Amino acid sequence: MEMYAYARVSARDQNLERQIAAFIEFGIEKQHIFTDKKSGKDFDRREYKRLMKKLKADDLLVVKSIDRLGRNYDQIIAEWSYITGTLGADILVLDMPLLDTRAKADTLVGKFISDIVLQVLSFVAENERENIRARQAEGIKIAKQNGVKFGRPPKIYSAEFLRIAEEYINKRISSLHAASLLGIKRENFYYHIRKLKQIFI
């Protein structure tokens, strides 16, 4: 049995050290820590793919938090099932100790925990989609009332972008933080925020 860890940040100027320090303190060797500086929108990441080639049955994969694994919850659910089911490895999320599959799935407790994890992630994913759809519908309604004509949009924004944009507009995160989460320059982020406001505000 080997222990591996995976760390991720969205932008090249963000720091991985806090995650790496937590893994070393947990007892994971540096050569078994894989890191990516890339958006979590999907699993098309070089180091993550290298890690998946090494991970095998009874190994343990450690991540600092669930969003370091990814941000697309449907894909997280599929990946979680692949790692714990197909590969037969275990996953531990340090910031949420309940997310620890080392209580094997062939025991009642282990199966219960695994099922709850997947159900919670499914709920979060569906709830996020519903909230985005509701906000988009409300924004379109207001825009139409203000005389905005809708044709084929020149830019389709991802669910992740819309969620982060809402966090920024509601002053819950800074523009610098928002841009870094999206892996774009702050000036580019401002440009797209202005475009969104023209439509929805």
Please state whether the predicted TM-score (pTM) of the whole model is above 0.75: no
Least confident of 57-71, 81-95, 150-164: 150-164
**Is residue 102 exposed (0-12), middle (13-18) or buried (19+ Cβ within 10 Å)?**
exposed
Judge if 64 and 110 occupy the same domain.
Answer: yes
* pLDDT per residue as tens digits for the range 60-70: 999 998 888 88
52 and 114 belong to one structural domain: yes
pLDDT exceeds 70 at position 73: yes
Residues 152, 173, single domain; the answer is: yes
Regarding whether 90 and 163 lie in a shared domain, the answer is no
- Kindly indicate the confidence band of residue 201, based on its pLDDT and cuts at 50, 70 and 90: very low
> What is the domain extent for residue 96?
3-123
Residue 114: CB atoms within 10 Å: 20
Question: Checking phi first, is residue 171 left (phi over 0); if not, alpha (psi -120 to 50) or beta?
Answer: left
43's tokens: 């699993």
In this structure, the answer to whether residues 118 and 146 fall within a common structural domain is: no
**At which of 123, 141, 176 does a domain end?**
123
**Looking at the structure, do residues 113 and 134 belong to the same domain, yes or no?**
no
**Residue where a domain terminates, one of 123, 153, 188:** 123
Catalytic pick from 10, 39, 114, 180?
Answer: 10
CA distance 17 to 125: 29
CATH of the domain at 14: 3.40.50.1390
User: In this structure, what are the phi and psi dihedrals at residue 136, rounded to the nearest 5 degrees?
Assistant: -65, -45
Asked if residue 85 and residue 144 are part of one domain, the reply reads: no
**87 and 140, same domain (yes or no):** no
175 shares a domain with 97: no
Closest CA to 76 of 38, 119, 110: 119
Same domain assignment for residues 147 and 193: yes
Q: pLDDT tier at 113 (50, 70, 90 boundaries)?
A: low
Same domain, 11 and 105: yes
Whether residues 19 and 67 share a domain: the answer is yes
The three-state secondary structure class of 154 is coil
Judge contact between 65 and 94, C-beta under 8 A.
yes
Q: Which of 187, 193, 189, 177 is CA-nearest to residue 13? A: 177
SS3 label, residue 32: helix
Query: Among residues 104, 123, 142, which one ends one of the domains?
Result: 123
The number of domains in the chain is 2
Instruction: Assess whether pLDDT exceeds 60 at residue 176.
Output: yes
Catalytic (active site) residue 10: yes
